[in-house]
Structure 1
Amino acid sequence: MNDTAAELVARSNRLGADPRNTNYAGGNTSAKGTATDPVTSQPIDLVWVKGSGGDLGTLTSQGLAVLRQDRLNALVEVYPGVEREDEMVAAFDYCLHGKGGAAPSIDTAMHGLVDAPHVDHLHPDSGIALATAADGEALTRECFGDRVMWVPWRRPGFQLGLDIAAVKRDNPQAIGVILGGHGITAWGDTSAECEANSLDIIRTAERFLAERGKPEPFGPVVPGFEALPEEDRKARAAALAPYIRGLASTDNPQVGHYNDSEVVLEFTARARLAELAALGTSCPDHFLRTKVRPLVLDLPATASLDEAVARLRELHASYREDYAAYYQRHATEDSPAMRGADPAIVLVPGVGMFSFGKDKQTARVAGEFYINAINVMRGAEAVSTYQPIDEREKFRIEYWALEEAKLQRMPKPKPLATRVAFVTGGGSGIGKAIALRLAAEGACVVVADLDTAAAEATAKEIGPTAVAVTADVSNASAVQQAFDEGVLAFGGIDLVVNNAGLSISKPLLETTEKDWDLQHDVMAKGSFLVSRTAAKAMIDQGMGGDIVYISSKNAVFAGPNNVAYGAAKADQAHQVRLLAAELGPHGIRVNGVNPDGVVRGSGIFAKGWGAQRAAVYGVPESELGAFYAQRTLLKREVLPEHVAAAVFALAGGDLSQTTGLHVPVDAGVAAAFLR
């Protein structure tokens, strides 16, 4: 990697690592330098700039666009004016140097046209607070003197780059600018100087807001709107989450994220909550992810759950009407179609914030951006009046043709994208294989297991789209707690896999009451408790769902020495039929998978069942899998991954009209054919 590019990446990572400097994926940085042209062997002036869609904190050299400076400068001569400035984005492609790298962003002009070797454009809360203050220009002068200049609001693009370049040229003493309604831009002769200037602007603005700002800019606390005690708060959030997710998914299914940080709870407790929230966010990065404004529940935290849900439904209907009207007010013939009228942010006083997106990261980032917006509002109101860019400008960005093109370039979502799965016994064996497969197909996964360490290991293997929960499925309160944790992690539940199980192989006369109770508590009672809890959440959501039972060949086949196990599995199998009939009107499909002979990787077989069954059949335990395979019609061994594939087949969409089905995954056992 070129030394200039390496220095730029290091600076970007440092700036992006601190959320006070810029929001996730917000802002961009650049550096100008010289390299050798591989064609002419002559020196050539280049600019390296963070490309479209990247994040400063995790930027690598592959996230940089590399452009020829002479060709960027030449674009000024052919610029057709602000009414056609979007055409310049395509022109950046003709300025690229070499192959690879990222696509140039809309802010490329800001970096290429400003006459400085190093440029940072960032979105710090403190800088945006000044940028969105009603008298932001005067405050900028008061805060910085002539070291930082004011640039009035202009949508990001080529003209904004020209504007900043002119300010830099006419004010040689300046180290940067405040961009009205938007953020900051700083520059320097060296990378270190540019970084220092960026941090100087950010920290100076922070001190100015703290020292000059008035207390309680959001107004006094409203009685009844204060934060509930943590335990009560989490319980209310878990109860509300499925309802809210269902509302937020009216147009398109969404994944949720819950945040009850102090900054959220403090904002939602204040008298000016509704007034300020209605003004919406300002920085383009903010409202592109949060929509122009949130939905705010206008009831105290002490309201009953039924009252809160009823009011949320009313507010949601009004929100959709208002959003459609906003679209109609500003849409033109060439505007993209309305993408959905549901809120991305829902604020519930005393409880917290629910944010939504197409996946977990998008949902989480939307919430983080709204926290940025709260900080911006606090800062602006502390020293002035918060005045975001006007609604028409917000629409021009939200439904910008360039933004639409970016959305259209996004990869096609995976089959289970936006779905939240809850897998019992997910720490090992078949359950782990199911959790891994569902995650690979795009689902968020709640890995539930009595063995906390095993659940955590599976979740860690999956990554940030999975959480581990401890679950004793035979205990109703433990099941509810596990579901609450899953709901708070992802907003709700769409797909439940009843996989938790165990087996004790004994003849009838040796089977104790304890043996019987243990197996029925885990598999029969456990499946009932999990399904009952899941069904309530799914019905509350109103989005349908899937419940899949991992039963067994033994549910229909009378094998020797396993009366307790076989009876419990038969119970599970009939639960499938009963619940399919009962839950169908809610759009909830209930199906089963009947495996057999899953020896390798099986938690049950590893815990004594394998040795017991091997003794019954008179074969070495190490050969039990091969023994099972030879008694099948296909003569093939069944693995946990085969069971996981059946679960995906049932829940992945191709069998959308199927419910009440049992799928054998046993390589063909004629005695277990369903009749």
Structure 2
Amino acid sequence: MLDKPTPTEATPLLADLWDAAHAATLSEPERLLYRSNLLGSDKRITNYGGGNTSSKIMMADPLTGAEVEVLWVKGSGGDIGSMKLDGFATLYLDKLNQIAASYAGPEVEDAVVGLYPHCTFNLNPRATSIDTPLHGLLPAKYVDHVHPDAIIAIAASADSRAITREIFGDEIGWLPWRRPGFELGVWLQQFAKENPSAKGVVLEAHGLFTWGDTPYACYKQTIDTINRAIAWLAAKSEGKPAFGGVKVPTAAPEARLAVAAELMPRIRGLISGERRMVGHFDDQPAVLEFVGSQALDALAPLGTSCPDHFLRTKIRPLVLPFDPATQTAADLLPGLEAAIAGYREDYAAYYERCKHPDSPAIRDPNPVVYLIPGIGMMTFAADKATARIAGEFYVNAVNVMRGASTVSTYRGLPEQEAFDIEYWLLEEAKLQRMPKPKALAGRVALITGGAGGIGLATARRLASEGACVVICDIDEAALAEADAGLAKAFGRDAVASLPVDVTREETVIRLFKEAAVAFGGLDILVSNAGIASSAPVEDTSLALWQRNMDILSTGYFLVSREAFRLMKHQARGGAMVFIASKNAIVASPGAAAYCTAKASEVHLARCLALEGAPLGIRVNVVNPDAVLRGSKIWTGEWRSQRAEAYKVGENDLEEIYRQRSMLKLGVYPEDIAEGVYFFASDLSSKSTGNILNVDAGHAPSFTR
């Protein structure tokens, strides 16, 4: 057994989280899931979607009833930290061994994958992973394959084999780089046969395989092996400056936010083609240490080593030279387009150098990872989760480069090897299986009044079509509740919430900075923050008049002005939708302040439609009427005032408005959200300066 490493405060070791009492209550497949989820719960063990786990389990054959050995292994595209039982592929082990008996070598590697479905046990629809033979051909019953930063730091170093031997002796072996597949499975099988006392293998430039005779023994072997590497690297690194020390000092947090808010929308505009990209910003200490280091210019071009890393980050990042002590974002912007164009040219040349006759067509040649000294890292992808995960993978790569360059010389994968994995036909097949993007995929919407009835319904509607939504509200308690509900329904990556008082210019300006950094830019503005008031004109105080104007007129102006600036800077067009009111078209007695302010919204939208058209920015209006359900403006004086005006009880108001409508129908927040979706989507791509009444029919409000 490995010597127990000594933990330090700076380099905490992994904890043994196995609960033996709980594990004893589980079935064999459930113990595999438990082991997998534990390993995937710590990104120091493996990154999102990385690694796989397996167990060989005796089960009754559904055809014969006889006991057969079944390989349970994580299926293609899953994540061991969050997967469920249906995430495992199941294969007859004897049939997989039959493939091994006839395996003719690497020239049939891809063809062999087509045989895996013939090994399927119990008609399991889960597609098998390319790593299936690596698990199936090992004799051990329980196998873990993970990508710990500490192990890959060793695996990606020039002295990988010698360091592995120094740390682990005979207990953990070493195999040279080989692309994952059946041949590597045969290598692992041969290694285990020749080294029966070994408990695992370090795969050069790739990761770690460990195994055991029980689920816990396998889990414990994985944890202990990683901890040994963590402790060894910490001891060897002590007193040595990471990455050769600091070259560019880190800017203050506000300065980093300012630069990111300027750069991200412009980058997004330059790299978004038919599909818009979503951005993620990361300025955690590990990132700042790397981007500001002496070694950045030498290490970044080498690219990442582990296949799991560069499949999501591309082989290398784009470094944007910058010094926050002497420069601002304005100094970066003029050269940005040329820098990205240069990266595209380099990527196209890499594709041409490395492609094979049957390679898939070149994919998006734009950078995924952008590194800015003193500021941080920006990553872009087709959705927020993919952009965030790409950033997480690059942080893994940074950790690997730190460790490898401290104890040896860091080495990325050779270019051809990297290409052969990036453009592997099997990887292309996985991409082709992905579902078709939704109508608003890759778009970012900001909704003021987002915690109220119409705003929240709109956020749900847009998110259901794939948009990322930023909900904003002055009511922070309601905002937090709305945020939690949206995150539960659509995932944390699809929603952000930011408090705002739309009447205060400085808070609105900051709102759009933070929104730009949250998702990389803006495509849709829904201006919806509102109040309602009712009073005869002689009883309308200046304060009441001003409050209506501040929120409904000035607030709409401030929000739309900042959205207009951001969309213009991004240079990808956009859609603005104002939530006005029936009262913007037809006056109501006893509501002069409200009606006047609402009318100003409509005319502001018309003005913006004129200015926005040359830029592809469309501006339209949805006019609701009598949307009581879920609306915050109908919970206060407005409800009682309108009930008094109609001489009815407050609970009778909804029926009053229903009967007043031409269609005799109630109008709900979801109805308004449907109108917003129409104007926000490409369904209305040729509409601007328009008004859509969603009021169940109110003849005086007809616009023509």
TM norm structure 2? 0.94
Counterpart in 2 of 1:326?
350
Q: Which amino acid aligns with 1:175?
A: K
Question: Equivalent of 1:157, from 161, 176, 181?
Answer: 181
Aligned position for 1:416 = 440
Q: Matches of residues 275-354 of structure 1 in structure 2 within 5 Å?
A: 275-302=298-325, 303-354=327-378
Counterpart AA for 1:503: A
Residues 1:531 and 2:551 aligned together: no
Consecutive unaligned residues in structure 2, runs of 5 or more: 1-24
Q: How does 1:230-245 map to 2 (within 5 A)?
A: 230-245=253-268
In the alignment, what sits opposite 1:595? 624
Q: CA deviation at 1:217?
A: 4.4
Instruction: Determine the C-alpha separation between the residues in 2 that align with 1:15 and 1:155.
Output: 23
SS at match of 1:128: helix
Q: Is the CA contact 2:69–2:93 (under 8 Å) kept in the aligned structure 1? A: yes
Q: Please say if residues 460 and 466 of structure 1, whose CA atoms lie closer than 8 Å, have aligned partners that are also in contact.
A: no
1:636-647 paired onto structure 2 within 5 Å: 636-647=665-676
- 1:555 corresponds to which residue? 584
CA contact (8 A) 1:601 1:640 kept: yes
Q: CA deviation at 1:595?
A: 0.8
Match for 1:468 among 464, 481, 497? 497
| Aligned residues of 1:251 and 1:342 also touching (Cα < 8 A) | no
Separation of aligned partners in 1, 2:125 and 2:72 = 10
The partner residue of 2:80 within 32, 52, 56 is 56
Contact 2:322/2:374 (<8 A) preserved: no
1:389-443 CA deviation, whole Å, 9 max, x = no partner? 1111111111111111111111111111111111000111111111111111111
Alpha-carbon distance between aligned partners in 1 of 2:337 and 2:287, rounded to the nearest angstrom: 22
TM-superposed CA distance for 1:77, in Å, is 2.2
SS at match of 1:57: coil
DSSP 3-state at the match of 2:684: coil
Please state how far the C-alpha of 1:363 moved relative to its aligned partner: 1.0
Contact map agreement 1:456 1:467 (CA 8 A) in 2: no
Q: Which residue of 2 aligns with 1:571?
A: 600
Equivalent of 1:220, from 242, 245, 249? 245
Larger mean CA deviation between 158-167 and 479-488 belongs to 479-488
Pick one of 185, 199, 217 that aligns with 1:175: 199
- Summarize the alignment of residues 87-102 of structure 1 with structure 2, pairs less than 5 Å apart: 87-100=111-124, 102=126
Q: 1:580 aligns with which of 603, 609, 628?
A: 609
Whole-angstrom distance in 2 between the partners of 1:398 and 1:483: 36
Q: Which residue of 1 aligns with 2:17?
A: none
Residues 62 and 122, structure 2, Cα contact 8 Å, conserved in 1: no
Asked if 2 retains the 8 angstrom alpha-carbon contact of 1:250 and 1:342, the reply is no
Amino acid at match of 2:258: A
The answer to whether the aligner puts 1:607 opposite 2:636 as a matched pair is yes
Cα offset, 1:239, TM superposition: 2.6
Q: For 1:662, which of 691, 694, 699 is the aligned residue?
A: 691
The answer on whether the counterparts of 1:4 and 1:32 sit within 8 Å (CA) in structure 2 is no
- 1:269 is aligned, of 289, 292, 300, to 292
Q: CA RMSD in A?
A: 1.4
The whole-number CA distance in structure 2 between the counterparts of 1:109 and 1:412 is 30
Residue number in structure 1 paired with 2:20: none
Paired residues for 1:424-443 under 5 Å: 424-443=448-467
1:640 is displaced (CA, Å) by: 0.7
Contact 1:61 1:101 in 2 (8 A): no
Q: List alignment gaps of at least 5 residues for structure 1.
A: none
Aligned equivalent of 1:184, options 204, 208, 221: 208
Q: Distance in 2 between the 1:310 and 1:98 partners?
A: 60
SS at match of 1:58: coil
Contact 1:268–1:352 (CA under 8 A) maintained in structure 2: yes
2:41 aligned residue (17, 38, 42): 17
Aligned residue number for residue 6 of structure 2: none
C-alpha separation between the residues in 2 aligned to 1:574 and 1:431?
A: 21
- Tell me the CA shift for residue 285 of structure 1: 0.8
Letter in 2 for 1:161: G
**Residues 114-168 of structure 1: CA deviation (Å, up to 9, x unaligned):** 1111111100011111111112112211222222111111111111111111111
Instruction: Give the corresponding residue for 1:253.
Output: 276
CA distance in 2, matches of 1:252, 1:667: 36
Instruction: Name the stretch that deviates more: 563-572 or 77-86.
Output: 77-86
The structural deviation recorded for 1:2 is: 7.8
**AA matched with 2:640:** A
User: What's the secondary structure of 2:682's corresponding residue?
Assistant: coil
* In structure 1, distance between residues paired with 2:382 and 2:412: 26
1:360 corresponds to: 384
Q: Is this contact kept in 2: 1:252–1:340, CA < 8 A?
A: no
* AA of the residue aligned to 2:692: V
Per-residue Cα deviation, 1:521-540 (whole angstroms, up to 9, x for no partner): 10111011001111111111
Q: Point out the more displaced range, 244-253 or 230-239.
A: 244-253
Secondary structure of the residue aligned to 2:658 is helix
Pairwise CA distance, 1:47? 1.1
Shift of 1:250: 4.6
Deviation, structure 1 residue 39: 2.4
Distance 2:262 2:410 in 1: 34
Name the CA distance, whole Å, in 1 between partners of 2:298 and 2:691.
55
The amino acid across from 2:420 in the alignment is: R
Q: Is structure 2 residue 52 aligned with structure 1 residue 28?
A: yes
Deviations 1:601-640 (A, max 9, x none): 2211112212211221222221212211222221111111
Query: Which secondary structure does the structure 1 equivalent of 2:664 belong to?
Result: coil
Contact 1:424 1:500 in 2 (8 A): yes
Q: Say if 2:478 is the partner of 1:454.
A: yes
Q: Which amino acid aligns with 2:260?
A: A
Aligned 8 A contact 1:248 1:344 in 2: no
Q: Compute the TM-score of the two structures, normalised by the length of structure 1.
A: 0.98
Residue-by-residue CA offset, 1:618-672 (whole Å, 9 max, x unaligned): 2222121221122222111111110000000111211111111111101111111
Q: Secondary structure at the match of 2:575?
A: strand
| Residues 219/251 of structure 1: CA separation in 2 closer, same or farther (3 Å cut) | farther
Other-structure match for 1:125 = 149
Secondary structure, aligned partner of 1:350: coil
**Cα deviation 1:261-317 (Å, max 9, x = unaligned):** 000001011111122111111111101111111111112123122111123222112
Residue of 61, 64, 80 corresponding to 1:40 = 64
Structure 2 letter corresponding to 1:220: G
SS of 1:86's partner is helix
How far apart are the structure 2 equivalents of 1:416 and 1:295? 28
**Which residue does 2:28 correspond to in 1?**
4
Paired amino acid for 1:555: A
1:515 to 544, 548, 551: 544
1:557: Cα distance to partner? 0.5
Amino acid at match of 1:240: L
Tell me how far apart the structure 2 counterparts of residues 313 and 307 of structure 1 sit (CA, whole Å). Answer: 13
Larger deviation: 477-486 or 20-29?
477-486
Measure the CA separation in 2 of the matches of 1:6 and 1:599: 49
Conservation of the 8 A alpha-carbon contact between 1:251 and 1:340? no
Structure 2 counterpart SS, 1:56 = coil
SS of equivalent to 1:599: coil
Q: Distance in 1 between matches of 2:403 and 2:150?
A: 7
1:332-367, CA deviations, whole angstroms, 9 ceiling, x for partnerless residues? 232112221111111111111111122111111110
CA distance in 2 between partners of 1:247 and 1:382 (Å): 37
Structure 1 residue 7: Cα displacement: 1.2
| Cα distance in 1 for residues equivalent to 2:273 and 2:281 | 19
Aligned counterpart for 2:678 among listed residues 630, 641, 649? 649
Match of 1:176, as an amino acid? G
Residue 251 of structure 1: CA displacement? 6.3
Q: Which secondary structure state, in structure 2, belongs to the residue aligned with residue 85 of structure 1?
A: helix
- Using the TM superposition, name which of 387-396 and 204-213 deviates more: 204-213
Number of residues paired by the alignment? 673
Q: What residue in structure 1 maps to residue 233 of structure 2?
A: 209
Instruction: Find the partner of 1:540 among 552, 566, 569.
Output: 569
